[in-house]
Copies of this chain bind each other. A is one copy, B any other.
Amino acid sequence: MRIGELARRTGITERALRYYEEQGLLRPERRPSGYRVYGDADVAAVRRIRILLAAGLSTAQITQVLPCMLDDDGLLAPLCPELVSALVEHRAKIDEAIDELAATRANLDVIISAEARPT
């Protein structure tokens, strides 16, 4: 299929699909005219990419991570141990981000509640 159909079947814009190729996430074949040709497997590949993006990974990380993944009924199974450690590491960063936001919120609460303080 060409890019338009893949876009329709995945719900991802053509621009994004071209971007994924630019980043090495997809490697569609090319017709002599230059048109990209995708296979059915690419529909699942895009789904995987989306899941990983939703998990907060960058395209650079996904590039390394994708070849380690097994497609299993829409679910994902990490294979390489490097992948697992990378994901765990990323999880830690998310924890940090949450902690920072919680601290930020605490700062806000101090300011907000200061209103009630005796002046």
Contact = CB atoms under 8 A, between A and B. Distances in A.
Given A77-B117, A77-B119, A119-B77, A111 B94 contact: no
A78 interface: yes
Interface of A: 51, 54-56, 70, 72, 75-78, 84, 87-88, 90-91, 94-95, 97-98, 101-102, 104-105, 107-112, 114-115, 117, 119
Q: For chain A, what secondary structure do more than half of its interface residues adopt (helix, strand, loop), or is it mixed?
A: helix
Nearest to A75: B114
A75 B88 CA distance: 39
Contacts of A77: 114-115, 117, 119
A52 B94 CA distance: 23
A91 to B, nearest CB: 5
14 contacts: A51-B107, A51-B111, A54-B107, A55-B104, A56-B101, A56-B104, A72-B119, A77-B114, A77-B117, A78-B115, A90-B108, A91-B112, A97-B101, A98-B102
